[in-house]
Structure formats: C-alpha cells, structure tokens
Structure 1
Amino acid sequence: MSTSLPLADRLNRPIGVLRLSLTARCNLACPYCCPDVEEPPGLLTLEQQIRVIRVATRLGVQTLRLTGGEPLLSRRLLPLLEAVAQARRDRSDPMAGLQAVALTSNGVLLSEPMARALRAAGLDRITISLDAAEGEAAARMAGLQGGAVAGERLVRQVQDGIAAACAAGFDPSRGELKLNAVIQRGINDDQLLPLAALARQQGMELRLIEYMDVGNRNQWTLDQVLPAAQMVERIHARWPLEPLGRPRGGTARRWRYGDGAGSIGVIASISEPFCGDCNRLRVTADGQAFTCLFSAEGTDLKPALASELQLEQAMRQLWQRRQDRYSEERDPGAAASTHAEMAYLGG
C-alpha cells in the first residue's frame, strides 16, 4: 500500500477517483445519454481492468466507481469486484488504499440475487439513476415506448431494485444507497417533488443533476438547464432544508431536511462549476482515459498495458499535463464543441 501523496495536475488538483466504465451498452435509452447499441471494439480484458485500477490506486486514487452504459450488463462485473476485494485485503497491494468501491446503475437488473452477489463480492455503495417517479415522465426520460404503462413498470422495477439492495445490506442511512436524477427544464422538472418524496420514503439521499452538455447527440441547449438553486428552492418550499455544504473534491452540494428525513445533493456543473477541485479520471470500457467529462478525445491506454510500469508512466504523464476546466470556461453563446458521449464515458 502506497503512503505517498497523490499525483497532482497542473492546477494542483490531486487524483482521487477512478470512474471505470465496463460497457457502453444499456437496457434503457435515456435521450440525454444516448447509449450505443453495440460495444466499441477492443474492450479491456479483466486482467487489464485490474491493472488500470492497481496503477490508479498507486497514483493516489481512493475511490473506484464502476459505470457504463449499464454495468450490470457486464459479465466481468462480479469477477472484477471479487478481484478488487481480494487485493484490498492484501496490505502490500496498492488497492488496499481504496476507501470505497461504488457502482452506478439504473437498477432495472438489480434483483435480490444480484444485490446479494454484489455485496458478497465487496461492493460498498450503489447509486441508482431514476429521472422521474411518475409513469409518463419516467418513460419519456428513459426513452421507452409505451407511455405511462411502460414508465410505471420501470419505476416499480427500480423500487424493487432499491428494496433488493437494502435487503442485501446496502444501508441508505450510511450513504451506501443513493438516488440520482438528471433534471431538464420543461421535460421532467415537474418530477422534483415526486422524486424527493420517493427518496424520503426510502431513506435515500436524492442527488439532483443539472442537464449537461455531454456528447452531441442530445442537442443540449442552455434553456433546458434548471439551475440547482431553483431545484433546492422548490424542494425547500415543500420540505425545509438546511445547508451542509460541498466537501472538497465532491461533486454535490448537500442539504438535509429539517424534519430529519434524510438529505439531498445537487450537482451544479453548469451554474456552479467545481472544476477547481475536480479529482476524477475516467477510463472507458475500451481503455480510453479522459481527464474531463466534457473532453472530445481520450488517451488510449492500451499500448501501455503491457506492464504496470508502462501504464503508470502513461497515466502519470496524462494527469500531470491535465489542465481541463471546461465548465468554468463554458461559453453558452459559442458554437457547440465536440464531446464524447455520456454512455461511452460512463458519466
């Protein structure tokens, strides 16, 4: 286990989180995400994924988040978790420095057996994505045909997934189970209170995400962004909130309910950018490394995967030359720039 200081970039931001995508495929078709039908060629092998994680932890990563697409579609998920858990128990392995292993999922495939298997394999936390709590809006946000009936079915599936995760030992009161929602003005902002009510009933923290200009397929425009401050105002008017702030390196500014029924967080990368302490490295399922969610191109790590030494040199150089701060420099009036797609990057 390394005790050296984490690697820092040109703006003195230490590396802290590795978001590793396991697949670009998804069983939903959320319009803001636009997942691909097929995988990109040249997916990383299980051994290569483990090597990326080990080197990232040697450089200072303390949190591993597994993403997609929908990571529960990946047959490598459980073997990868088991390998990471074994390495975390070995004090001589850099992965022993991992403080948390997390997963982001839409929850549809989160059955009771799957939830138990994830817990047994060493997963610490799950974040479930659901952008509406009512049928018609849920279908629209998930790209489903069938209107309210399909949307209501989706909400039930996600609620069943939440129940399965709780039964498997993921405790919302300890932050081990959270709910994510992307909010678009005029599209699903009427779901703020229904989503908050659902999360309160489940004892889960609700994380509200401003609609972001990630990718180019979603035809993002600024007028579809509902600022986080307005989200908070609407919820506060129904259930009074008390501010908790945003921890350094965190993405969410948090509030707790005055009645003690949990908390919310808002991720305001449009209205309140947090580039100044962003500590995330993203690696796609095919081995492209991105130092910013809004990047156009990544750095291919596959040529360096022959050895841990080569990979460490490549990742070290990538982070040391990093100076991204897209959200702080965003010009809403400028022509749209090219970005990699959300489902490919893994969010």
Structure 2
Amino acid sequence: MTSKEIEQPTKKTVNNYEDMERDLLSMKQQLAEKEKQVQELEMKLQTKQEKEHIHILPTESVDELNKKLETQYALSRRKTMEIEDLKATMEQKDEKMIDTEKELTSLKELSETRLQEIEQLKLKLEDNNSKRLQVPVEETSETIKDESSDDVISSNKDIEMKPDDKSLTVNLQEDGKVEWSQDDVQLTSPSVDQCKEVISKLKEEHTSIILQLSSSDSIQVLIPTVLERGTINQLAIYYSSLLRDDVLSFSSQLSTNKSLIILQLTHGSMSDDGVIALAQSLQYNKTLQSLDLGYNPGITSACAQSLAELLLTNNTLNGLSLHHTNIETDGVMILIESLKTYNTLMILRLDEQHEETCSSLPYYEHIKDRLVFVE
C-alpha cells in the first residue's frame, strides 16, 4: 500500500471526528436548552401550586387522609344523632315540666279549697263545743269555774291553773259525760271505763272526737286506740293537760295514721315538752293538714326549733295555729325562717304582737300572704 492510500483514510477519519464533535456540541446545547426549559416549567409549576395551595401527596398519604375524613364524618354523624336525641329528650322534659306545672297549679287550688273546708270544719267544731260546754278560761286567773253549764260538769271541782308552768290541773269526778251524735262523740271528764265503752261503740261514721277536761289515764286509753282504728279525721282536746308521756302514748299511732286531717290541742292542753314530742311524731305523717295549738300559755320559744323541723320534714301540713301562746320573738323568727323553704304551709297564725317584727324582714313580701296575726 502506498503512502497516498494511507493518508487519504486518515484525513477522512479526522473530518468525521470533527463532524461528530460538532454534532455532540449541538446536542449538548439542545440538552442544556431542554434542561433550562424543564427548570422553567418546574418553577412555573411550583409557583402555580403555591398560589393555589395545591399539595401533591403520595398515594399512601391520600389514602390515610381519606380514612381520616371518613372517621371524622362518622364522628360528626354520631354527634349529630346524639344532638338530635338530646333535643328530643329536652322536648319531652319540657312537656313533662308543663304537665308538672299544671299539676302543681291544680294541687294548689285543691289545697286552698281543702284549707277553706278545714277552716269551716274548725269553726263548726268550735261552735258545737261552745254550745255543749260553756267553760270560761282566763289566762291570768288561778281558778277557772264553770258558771254556765251545770248539767255538763255539775259535780266537778274547780280547774286550777298552776302558776309555775301555766298548765291546767283538773280534779275530775269518777264518771263524766259522753254525748253521741250522728258523726261525732264528745267526752267531758270521762273515766277510763267510759273511754273503753266509747271505744267499743265507735263506728265508721263517727269521724270526730271531742275530749274535754280529761285525765292522763283516760287520754292514754282512748287516743292511741281511736288513732289506730284509722276512721277519725278530726280530734279535738280542750282543757286537758297533756304531759310528754301522754303524747308519747299515741305518738307511734299518730305517725302512721292515714285518716286524721284536723288536730286541735288547745286551751291549756299543751306545753313545750308535749309539743316537742308531738312534732317528732308528726314528721312523717302523710294526712294531717291542720294543727291548732292556740290558747296554750305553756308553749314558749323552747319548742320553736322542733316545730320548724316539723315544717321542713312534713309535706302535707298546710295550717298551723300558735296564737295566744308565750312564744317570743326569737321563736317566731325560727318559725318564719322555715317558711322560706317550706312551701306547703299556707297559714301560720301568730299573736298580733309579732306583726311589726315580721313585717321588717327582707323577705316578708314573699311570705306575708301566709301569715295571720291574731289579737
């Protein structure tokens, strides 16, 4: 091979190499431009995402987000259902409240009617008693004599007022007087045997018992039995000094009795010890509506706390009479305080001397309609 033949291929090869370099350079330039375009596109895309707050998440993150959204939706749905149930419950409670208010209004009207009936019965009872037993009582005198009814207690001795405790002591004859009517029985100075006879003859139509000038023995024989029978709705005891033991003798029967509506223990029949025992026995009584303790000079402020506790416990008593007693201002304040929370009692009778003190109380306007001041 000649030198010319060798030289020509070499030259051709060089030319090809130069062409390739040029092509490679051109391609590099084109790649650089493409990379620049890609960078520009990436920057534009990033800017657009930032403006539109678009965050492209991996597939797993999207699935987790969907699960969270489903969970939140379920919780929200559950809360919505709970709210709907609560609204329905509140509506039912509102309806019950309306029914309760109507029932309370009806009960209040009925209670007022019953109180008026009780007052009429008390007046009738007192009127009947005054016709059958004319016994003048003067709190300041030491001796009380019968000046008007010889046929009632003609053989009785004087009724003496002891100055130390202002209670009545009655010197009774062996046998007293018993009077029957269609619906009541009245006993005056009865003996124990007479009380037993009355018990044996009592019928269901005899709903009222009036006991006057009685001894402790007669009281302890008669009262527990008639209360246990559960047919008496009115019991009145006048001019009979009930000691604590006398009250305790029928306290359990009085506590569970379901017939007695009116109880009158007046005209020197009660003192502080008896009232305290009486108040304890009446705390859980469910039927008594009227309790009259008037005209008892032996009642003082010492029993006021027991009466106040009775008002806070008993929920049926709507009339309490404490006029013509020796309860002083401190005792009255204890009783008045209980009226702020005891709404059942509609009438509280007190002596007129306490009216000025009561009217100065800051809550007097809320209770004044329930107070009656007696001369």
TM-score (norm 2): 0.32
Task: Tell which structure's C-alpha radius of gyration is larger.
Answer: 2
TM-score (norm 1): 0.34
Q: Name which structure has the greater RCO, CA cutoff 8 Å, separation 6+.
A: 1
